[in-house]
Amino acid sequence: MSEKRSENPLVYIVMGSKSDWEVMQHAAQTLSQFGVANECRVLSAHRTPAAATEFISSAEGRGVQVIIAAAGGAAHLAGVAAAHTILPVLGVPMQSAALQGMDSLLSTVQMPAGIPVGTLAIGKPGAINAALLAIAILANSRPELREKLHGYRREQTQKILKETLP
Ligand code: RP5
């Protein structure tokens, strides 16, 4: 997987490496579960800098409304994405082998004032929440998505309340 294209995507999901897909597929699945068209690509701030900036720069013109960017280690992808667009950029720090994602988290979250990145949790919870936050942003102007979000929360609450302990 280097690209999963979609016609008229509302959300881009970019990730620094194919190795991030195992986690980031949960963001794509969550968006698809809500019927939100998304496009996923491997693009790196370091290994493919020109392609990354070109892809992000053209997002607004394609009608994309939110960008999710995931990277690990020296995780500059979300910050570079935010530097090339005024669309909301949600950063997902990947769990790294050397520092368990603390490097990714700090690289993603510590943006200078003026270029915001909304940073989520490390790993799978961050991937899912980035998608839910993107959906919440889109839901501000889409009543049907807002209704689906209410339903998602209701189902989650019911599931937890029904939990029994061994
Ligand atoms: C980052 O380096 C990627 O986002 C990935 O999380 C990490 C390791 O990449 P690979 O060496 O597995 O390609 O750029």
pLDDT, mean of residues 49-71: 98
Tokens of 79: 């910050």
Ligand 1 atom showing the smallest separation from residue 96 Cα:
6
Q: What is the pLDDT of residue 3?
A: 66
Percent of the chain predicted with pLDDT > 70: 98
Separation CA 91–CA 31 (nearest Å): 16
- Span 1-56, pLDDT tens digits: 446 777 899 999 999 999 999 999 999 999 999 999 999 999 999 999 999 999 99
pLDDT, mean of residues 127-131: 98
Among 19, 47, 68, residue to substitute to test ligand 1 (most atoms within 8 Å of Cβ): 19
pLDDT, mean of residues 50-72: 98
Separation CA 160–CA 85 (nearest Å): 39
Separation CA 42–CA 86 (nearest Å): 21
